[in-house]
Chain A
Amino acid sequence: MRIHALLATAFAICVALDAPAQGRGRRGRGGEQPPSPPTAAPEKPAAVVDAKPKKYLAIVGGDVYLGTGQRLTGATVLLADDKIESVGHNLTLPEGTTVLDAKGKTVSPGFVCVLGNGMGAGRSAPYADAANPFDPEIKQGLAAGVTSFLTGSVGTGPSPSGSNAIAKLAYGDVKGMVLKADTVVGMSVPLSLADRDKFIDTVKKAREYMQAVEEFPKKKAADANLKEPSVPPGADKIVAILRDEVQLWIQLGGRSMNPFGGGGRRGGGGSSASDLDAVLQALEISRILGKGVVLQKPTNAWLVPDQVAATGSMVILSPRDRLPADPQDPDRTGSNLACAAILANAGVPVAVTCPSGMFGGAGVGTGGILGQDLNTPQVDAAYAVRGGLDNRKALRTLTLDSAKMLGVQARVGSLEPGKDADVLILDGDPLHYSTFVTTAVVNGRVVYEKAKEPIYRDIAR
């Protein structure tokens, strides 16, 4: 009995001692203790997140043409600040997103014109400093769907030259008016024998220079006195081409592609109705450089699509240009509406532009009523479709492929995450002549709304 009592007391004492711990689980007397100290680390990342919240804009419910040839029905395009965040179906929109409803409409990347004029851009370097972001022509360009274009001049001459910039139609935003400067250089063919030799020589020197630059660090380590190789005179542009920093454009036969400069020679016919020789020369230049070039309005490139594709070259066409065939050789001369289709099927990137000598300015027609005067970029693409170009690929002529030719495909030309937020909402098929742009977004800002613009709201079908 006594043992029981002793045990009971001992037990009671233990319990008593242990009382505070009871009911608190295995932590024992942790009642007053604070919970385990929070780890400081996890809070840090939260604080480091963007100081400025992003502004989101979502275009919801439209038929989205990505610009790559793909099309998504009923998809959403999400823009964050001035870049595209994501494109897809059923995207979750962050809080505070402005939503633009595009149900029943189509969504497309902004059109990239390989040539343009006016629309607020500076005419000469420095382009950004002369930009006028309030130019009413900007609205005109936006109404036709243009969001970026090449301004300045593409050189013509026996060696690459030219000063130009890719301008954007960022109405009201002086900093967003120029995308990039000097991405394109130009030269023309045919070259005289002397010029051709000089060109080949310069390319050789340029290659030697690049080789020397590559080897320089190693050689410098060996010999500290070695001077850095300098760019051979006259070869700086060629070095840039070889380094993929600029795109080379080739003008064929001295015809100007620029419809805004001199004269208005429609289609620019030369003495012969075929510029095949010039095309072949241009391809030769491409082979000498080992890089693809851009051919400006080659009427007869459709005769040698595989050769063009083999050099990796690209082509700018104006499908509406009609050049009569030489009656002696009607099958191999003259223009061909199917040119774009033939080249595209061979894998050559094709861009379209407006016919020579037709427009008063701005790259889009000013003579008629927008959308009804057939002077807008998508009409030229429509003509290419008429000639057999796949409808799905035709939009690329205004978007991704033209961006490639301007050297800015990393920034514009398609609705892909990371690219500039240049988006159009159109009220019909983008390539149909009666389609109007209802809303245009450039650099993430809505810059044009047809229903609100003073003149454009009154233009009806």
Chain B
Amino acid sequence: MRKTTILSLLALATAAAAPAQTQAQAQNGRPVAFTNARLITISGKTIERGTLVVKNGKIDAIGADAVVPAGARIVDATGMTILPGLVSAWSRAGLTPPPSQITQRGGDRRGGRGDLQRFGGGGGGSAQNRAATKVMDGLYARQPVFGELLRTGITSLALTPSGNAFAGLGALLRPDGKTMEELRLDDDAFVFVGMSRDGPTKKLLKETFEKAQKVVEARKKPPEKAAAPTATETKPGEGKPGDGKTEAPKGEPAPTPKPTPEPPKPEPPKPEPPKPEPPKPEPPKPEPPKPEPPKPEPPKPDSPKPDDKKEAAASSARPEPAKDPNLEVLADLLEGKRRAIVQIDSAADLLHWHDAVADAVKFPRTIAVSRHDSFAGTFDTVIEETKSLGCAVLLPPELSTVPRARIQTHPARKLHEAGIEVGFLIGDSPAAVRMLFFRLMELVRTGLPADVALRGVTLVPAKALGIDSRTGSLDVGKNADLLVFRGDPLSPSSRLESVWLGGREVPPQP
């Protein structure tokens, strides 16, 4: 009898330890299989009864007849619906509001009139000029908001700069991060462009794109040896490490003629990552001759920099202007190497955008409409002009009204019916995210197809951020970012049971 008691005690102990163990094992890569679930794949048809297998953080198999691998933890998902995690392509979660200028209409001080190389803001704009850097640097990592957002279902979170014209580079965050390193998934994920209808902003946009176009053309030209080959020889030598771009085996000889290694724009960070970090502080660096980059990361550049500066000072007059990292970023954008999220809030702003930026200026972009502005026109009043942009549009997930009336309008449905790809901005507070599905319900009830509604908060924003190859839908090979609902997500009686990020279940509120 003793034995049995001991055995039973042991059994109890192991039983108690088991869940923790499976949890740990799941963390350690034990596959998880959701059986008997309704799977909304987004990219394909919804599977009414199927199995989803997660292995090593990725979706391994999906289908009505998917095979559950041996040793997998089985989660019985009868009555549950599984959805890809939400992708928030527009968020200022965790950021303090921008210091001085209100961005929307007060654009008079922007537009760097006097300084050709400056754009994205005037005086107080210098704070926003480094928006991208600040977006991460100004972020305090240990904030509960990221965890809260994750628990409400946001598995991919962008961080958006704010401001007019070129306010910086947006970042992509990993919502379960607790430190800056953990949070930082990609700190120059997209170029942010803010539109507002005023003279200086329009002028800035127009001129800057023209300049960037010139840079693109200059890049294409074969390298011409400058008048002082010797000087330039050494220059490129130094300049290359300094200038990450030239180093990259993109084989861009073009920079050579204008190596301008006054890497005054400190950038010159590690040449290896073809992703030029410099561009980050896309907006003009404080002052050209300041060699100390605000970023401590690239230790290397510090050495070549002083040399370059000396060289620069020593060399004779170089006709080529210093390379502006901001223009370099935009040139990348025009070449299609980057993508942009353009904030255009109203139909009037859209018409002014067309007026300022020629149709011929094409670059990968998504339009983000941060709020419906019936006073200046919602997007469904300018369908043709929206179509001519040729990109997806992210709208607020709500209905709008005819100005000064209570007649409701459905911009999302109208745009969808006109053939424009429509997505939604989820909002950057946990409360907004909890309300999201109610809002989507309203949109669906008033005529938007349910699959378009759900796609608009998963795959479409993922495309906007350029992460659609690894998340945004339930497809084999994509990250296992899942939402498990009891019931249909678009039904008021459903409940979000669990959120999975990269194959791991997000622990509930501690």
Contact = CB atoms under 8 A, between A and B. Distances in A.
B140 interface: no
A133 B381 CA distance: 11
B375 A136 contact: yes
B2 interface: no
A132 B381 CA distance: 13
Secondary structure at the B interface, as helix, strand, loop or mixed, is loop
B144 interface: no
Interface string A111-136: 00000000000000110011111111
B198 A132 contact: no
Nearest to A132: B348
Contact of B197 (A129, A173, A175, A454): A129
Of A126, A129, A134, A455, the most chain B CB neighbours within 10 A belong to A134
B404 A136 contact: yes
B348 A133 contact: yes
Contact of A454 (B202, B375, B405): B405
B375 A135 contact: yes
A454 B351 contact: no
B360 interface: no
A174 interface: yes
Interface residues of B, number: 22
A125 B374 CA distance: 24
Interface in A433-461: 454-455
Secondary structure at the A interface, as helix, strand, loop or mixed, is loop
Interface in B392-411: 402-405, 407
Contacts of A324: none
A131 B375 CA distance: 12
A94 interface: no
A172 interface: yes
Given A174-B355, A454-B407, A132 B199 contact: no
Contact of A136 (B197, B199, B354, B403): B403
A455 B401 CA distance: 13
A129 B197 CA distance: 6
Contacts of A131: 197, 348
B348 A174 contact: yes
A174 B199 contact: no
Contacts of B376: 132, 134-135
Interface residues of A, number: 16
Interface string A132-148: 11111000000000000
B347 interface: yes
Contact of B346 (A126, A134, A173, A454): A134
Nearest to A129: B199
A132 B374 CA distance: 11
Contacts of A132: 197, 346, 348, 375-377
A133 B403 contact: no
B352 interface: yes
A175 B404 CA distance: 25
A130 B195 CA distance: 12
A135 B403 CA distance: 9
A135 B351 CA distance: 13
A43 to B, nearest CB: 34
Interface string B18-52: 00000000000000000000000000000000000
B376 to A, nearest CB: 5
B404 A125 contact: no
Interface string B190-204: 000000011100100
B355 A134 contact: no
B404 A455 contact: yes
A132 B355 CA distance: 13
A129 B205 CA distance: 13
Interface in B333-388: 346-348, 351-352, 354-355, 374-377, 381-382
A174 B402 CA distance: 20
A134 B352 contact: no
Contacts of A455: 404-405
Contacts of A130: 197-199
Contacts of B377: 132-134
B199 A133 contact: no
Interface in A400-454: 454
A454 B402 contact: yes
Given A126-B199, A172-B381, A133 B351 contact: yes
A174 B352 contact: yes
A388 B352 CA distance: 47
Interface of A: 125-126, 129-136, 172-175, 454-455
21 contacts: A125-B199, A126-B199, A129-B198, A129-B352, A130-B197, A131-B348, A132-B197, A132-B375, A132-B376, A133-B348, A133-B351, A134-B346, A134-B348, A134-B381, A134-B403, A135-B348, A135-B376, A136-B374, A172-B381, A174-B348, A455-B405
Given A133-B377, A174-B348, A174-B352, 19 more contacts: A125-B199, A129-B197, A129-B198, A129-B199, A129-B352, A132-B375, A132-B377, A133-B347, A134-B347, A134-B348, A134-B375, A134-B376, A134-B377, A134-B381, A135-B376, A136-B375, A136-B403, A175-B355, A454-B407
